[in-house]
Amino acid sequence: MVQVFSVYKEVEIINAKVKNGKAEQSMATISYDEKPGIQAIQNTTPDLNPVPGKHTSYFRDYEYKRQGTLSSLAGIDLHSGHILGMAKERHRSCEFIEFLKTVDSYYPEDWKIRLILDNHSSHTSKETKKFLTTVPNRFEFIFTPTHGSWLNIIETFFSKMTRSFLRGLRVKSEVELKERILKWL
């Protein structure tokens, strides 16, 4: 926990120096996590418009058809606020490595990239470790403690995503859900 808070303090100091023109940025710090199990739910009947005196808001039938699920993999650059994200059917090591490659290509080659993340098995797998050897000293992982995912700022982002975007969302397919998630990100 202390290590995570220390990184947040370093980010604050770096951001203040860059803002005041006293330093150039040479590293990225990303708060990363996955949001699994986002359901692609389709209505079976159209929503009903409000009817004065009967019901004052839209009415939705309780029946629905489940079209599948997706996982959102996302990270917030704590220096710029930029969101890097993707929507995938699963969140295994290969998807995590794909995210790391996206991050690697986004930032200048001479920058160090720190990721604050949890201890999910895909973050410490053989495949992930093998990938990290292909980009030596590029990534540094700062793990949140067990049961300490609340320390990761991306959790707040996913909470907002759930409350403002996903709650009550109806789509016709996983493809539409993926498009809408990426557009929201």
Model confidence over 47-103: pLDDT tens digits?
Answer: 777 888 877 777 666 777 878 889 999 999 999 999 999 999 988 999 999 999 999
**pLDDT value of residue 53:** 81
- For residue 123, give the nearest of 69, 71, 73 by alpha carbon: 73
Q: For residue 119, is it within any domain? A: no
Q: For residue 127, is it within any domain? A: no
Q: For residue 11, is it within any domain? A: no
Strand-pair partners of 133: none
The CA distance from 13 to 91, in Å, is 33
Q: For the chain, what percent of residues have pLDDT higher than 70?
A: 98
Residue with tokens 């209505």: 43
Reading the block at residue 172, the tokens are 């016709």
Q: For residue 107, is it within any domain? A: yes
**pLDDT value of residue 59:** 66
Query: What does the pLDDT average to over 7-24?
Result: 87
Range of 83's domain? 27-114+142-184
- For residue 99, give the nearest of 86, 109, 83 by alpha carbon: 86
Question: Lowest mean pLDDT: which of 19-23, 110-114, 169-173?
Answer: 19-23
**pLDDT value of residue 60:** 64
Q: For residue 104, is it within any domain? A: yes
Looking at the structure of the chain, the number of domains it has is 1
Q: For residue 97, is it within any domain? A: yes
Q: For residue 63, is it within any domain? A: yes
pTM given for the model = 0.85
Residue pair 174/67 in contact by the 8 Å Cβ criterion: yes
**pLDDT value of residue 9:** 94
Q: For the chain, what percent of residues have pLDDT higher than 90?
A: 56
Q: For residue 19, is it within any domain? A: no
